[in-house]
Amino acid sequence: MREESDTGALNERILEFKSDPDKLRQASEFVDELIQQAKKEAELKQKDKEKSKFVSNLKRRLGRARGFVLRVFDALCNCTQTAAAAARTTARNNPFAKR
């Protein structure tokens, strides 16, 4: 019985709200603001995601280039193993290298 009275009161309040154009306008403005804010936040998250993807791609390319240069250096300086070892040590101390 209480549920019926609660439902009836709720329906009355809904009808009253729908009949007041000022309240409807305020509610639609509020919803529009929420939607705009959500779009802005989604765009910011997308930009951050693309930026991090670019940075990881750049790190991967630098690592590949470094590996290629080291292989070429090892091939050219095959007779001097100390120089090749020094090049490998420098590559290990590089902050862009994966660990």
CA distances from 7 to 12, 17, 54, 77, 82 (A): 9, 15, 55, 87, 86
Q: Residue 72: its pLDDT value, please?
A: 83
Percent of the chain with pLDDT over 70: 74
pTM equals 0.47
**Full domain range(s) for residue 27:** 1-93
pLDDT for 30: 92
d(CA 63, CA 56): 11
- Number of structural domains in the chain: 1
Considering the domain boundaries, does residue 99 fall inside one?
Answer: no
In the block, residue with structure tokens 């009275």: 5
pLDDT level of residue 84 (50, 70, 90 thresholds): low
Residue 63 lies in a domain: yes
Inside any domain, residue 98: no
Q: Check whether 71 has a pLDDT greater than 80.
A: yes
User: What mean pLDDT do residues 72-94 have?
Assistant: 64
Is residue 71 situated within a structural domain? Answer: yes
Answer yes or no: is 44 within a domain. yes
Q: Mean pLDDT of all residues in the chain?
A: 80
Q: Is residue 23 part of a domain?
A: yes
